[in-house]
């Protein structure tokens, strides 16, 4: 079966590695091309946008794809919506692999907000020295806040408008709790801002913030489109796919809808 695997995450690379090893599948991984030196998945890879939902629909048809697995980051809401629209129009199944979000535990001081604009307002009310760990996109939401100082951590330098008082820290996870604790102390951080990305690779900052008693502003995920099969792990994605193939590819692949 010819499968488009929308990637840019560790889960997508893991799935590409596992499915490429299965004889019955032909996998094409797709990367947006945002990061200058991406970690490439094994197997066939294409890079760059498709040109919206219409462009993706045409690409899927031209390349005779039979299924889309969207294993992009939980906050990559545009490509997820485009993939849902394109597959619906072609009558193709789509599986959305999205790792579970984080949940607060004892000692956490979390402030959940619906979007980056609310995160900027909330963080500015909580502290003067803010660690921004939202990636380089979306930093513009903080540009209008002139009082706090921001430590902006990202893999590549941000290109959007930035808040006047800031320092850029280029780094790629995973990070350890001791790395994160040292970072919070060295920069005298008094509030952390993060997206609810989930997973372990970037969770150490949450533990470090808890230990330091620092508040964390957590941005909620975009809502998932309807009509799409949702799974939360690489194993679950493979199980759902195998079961659907074994059942003669009829109906939609199983899992939560
Ligand atoms: P997005 O806002 O949902 O998508 C914006 C546009 O980027 C899409 O309309 C599409 O362009 C293109 N695009 C996104 N993912 C693509 C993919 N896998 N293959 C081909 N084109 C893709 O996406 P984003 O949040 O910018 O994320 C871009 C990439 O970075 C994704 O691969 C995602 O997994 C990864 N990533 C994102 C985050 C995050 O916090 N958002 C964090 C880590 C990794 P066209 O409309 O032209 O098709």
User: Closest ligand 1 atom to the C-alpha of 7?
Assistant: 18
User: Closest ligand 1 atom to the C-alpha of 55?
Assistant: 48
- What's the full length of the chain, in residues? 257
Assess whether the C-beta atom of 96 lies below 6 angstroms from ligand 1. no
Specify the DSSP element, H or E, that contains 191: strand 191-195
pTM beyond 0.85, yes or no: yes
pLDDT in tens, 187-230: 999 999 999 999 988 899 999 999 999 999 999 999 999 989 99
Check whether 255 has a pLDDT greater than 60: no
CA of 107 to the centre of ligand 1 (A): 34
Ligand 1 atom 39 nearest Cα: 75
- 161 phi and psi angles, rounded to 5 deg: -65, 140
**Are the C-beta atoms of residues 97 and 231 closer than 8 Å to each other?**
yes
Structure tokens at 101: 């979000």
Check whether 257 has a pLDDT greater than 80: no
Helix-strand-coil percent breakdown of the chain, rounded to 5?
A: 30, 20, 45
| HSE-CB of 13 using CA atoms within 13 angstroms | 8
Work out the percent of the chain whose per-residue pLDDT is above 70. 99
CA of 13 to the centre of ligand 1 (A): 15
Q: What is the DSSP letter of 256?
A: B
User: Closest ligand 1 atom to the C-alpha of 195?
Assistant: 40
Assess whether the C-beta atom of 9 lies below 6 angstroms from ligand 1. yes
CA-based torsion, 220, 226, 232, 233: positive or negative: negative
């Amino acid at each position: 079966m010819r499968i488009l695997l929308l990637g840019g995450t560790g889960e997508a690379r893991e799935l590409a590695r596992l499915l490429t090893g299965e004889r019955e599948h032909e996998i094409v991984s797709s990367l947006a091309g945002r990061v200058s030196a991406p970690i490439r998945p094994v197997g066939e890879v294409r890079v760059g946008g498709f040109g919206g939902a219409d462009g993706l629909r045409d690409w899927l048809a031209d390349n005779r794809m039979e299924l889309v697995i969207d294993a992009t980051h939980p906050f990559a809401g545009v490509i997820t919506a485009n993939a849902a629209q394109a597959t619906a129009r072609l009558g193709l199944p789509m599986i959305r692999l999205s790792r579970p979000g984080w949940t607060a535990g004892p000692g956490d001081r979390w402030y959940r907000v619906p979007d980056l604009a609310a995160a900027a307002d909330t963080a500015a009310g909580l502290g003067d020295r803010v660690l921004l760990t939202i990636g380089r996109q979306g930093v513009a939401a903080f540009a209008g806040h002139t009082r706090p100082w921001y430590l902006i951590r990202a893999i590549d330098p941000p290109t959007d408008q930035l808040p006047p008082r800031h320092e850029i820290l280029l780094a790629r996870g995973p990070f350890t709790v001791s790395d994160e604790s040292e970072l919070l102390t060295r920069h005298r951080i008094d509030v952390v801002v993060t997206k609810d990305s989930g997973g372990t690779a970037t969770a150490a900052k949450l533990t470090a913030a808890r230990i330091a008693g620092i508040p964390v502003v957590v941005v909620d995920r975009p809502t998932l489109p309807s009509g799409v099969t949702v799974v939360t792990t690489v194993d679950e994605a493979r199980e759902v796919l195998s079961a659907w193939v074994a059942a003669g590819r009829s109906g939609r692949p199983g899992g939560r809808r």
